[in-house]
Structures are given as C-alpha cells and as structure tokens.
Amino acid sequence: MTLEPRIINADNAGKSYLRLIGGPPDSVTIRSGKVLLQSGETVGEHSTGDYEEVIIVLEGEGQFLFGEGKLLPFDVGKILYCPPNTTHNMKNTGSTPLQYIYVVAKALFNHEDG
C-alpha cells in the first residue's frame, strides 16, 4: 500500500457524523471522524476494543462517561484520551451543539497487560 500526504475536508455541513479517515486504504491503522451532538444527545455506549482513542473537542461541553458510572466533564479546547478495551459514551450537557473529532488507532499492547 502506498500512502500520500493529503488534505481531508472536515466540513460536516451540519450532519451528525462525517468519516474522515477509515483505515486501510486511507491509512495504516488510523480511523477518524467528526461528530456533532445536539443538546442532551449521546453518541451511544461503545467500546474501544483493541484500539486507543483521542477525542478533540472543537465546540460545546459535555461529559465523557466510562466504566461503571465514572465521568469526566469537558469543554471546548480539551483533548480526551481513552485506552483500549474501555466502554464509554459522550454526552452533550450544554445548551449548544457539541462538536468533536475522534481518532482511533490499533493499540500495540493492552493497557491491562502492563
């Protein structure tokens, strides 16, 4: 596989989800997207599986829900890190739209293994 540098359009034009990079053949292991959540919405509980994830908050505020009832409040300009095999959810707790970009990549090892 030959990869070239490129520009990716991140204008989701009000859509709730835009895939930015989808793994091979777009990249070696990275997958990413841009998410728009309206006030009170969640993305839905899911697991990172064998991937680790970075979430870059562009607009709004919310809560990163993980584990059994744990949460991290965040707002614009924050970056969240989520290790492999972590069940989590994003919730917009503000009165304005929450917009963020997520980037996931295959983990080299499981964080529970050391």
90 pLDDT above the threshold of 60: yes
Binned at pLDDT 50, 70 and 90, residue 58 comes out as very high
Is the entire prediction scored with pTM above 0.85?
yes
pLDDT digits (tens, 9 = 90+) for 2-57: 888 889 989 988 889 999 998 888 898 899 999 999 999 999 999 999 999 999 99
Strand 87-92's sheet: what is its strand order? 46-47, 87-92, 61-66, 70-75
Question: Which pLDDT belongs to residue 109?
Answer: 67
Q: How far is CA 61 from the centre of its chain?
A: 14
Q: Where are the domains of the chain?
A: 17-108
CATH topology of domain 17-108: Jelly Rolls (2.60.120)
Closest C-alpha to 47, from 88, 77, 12: 88
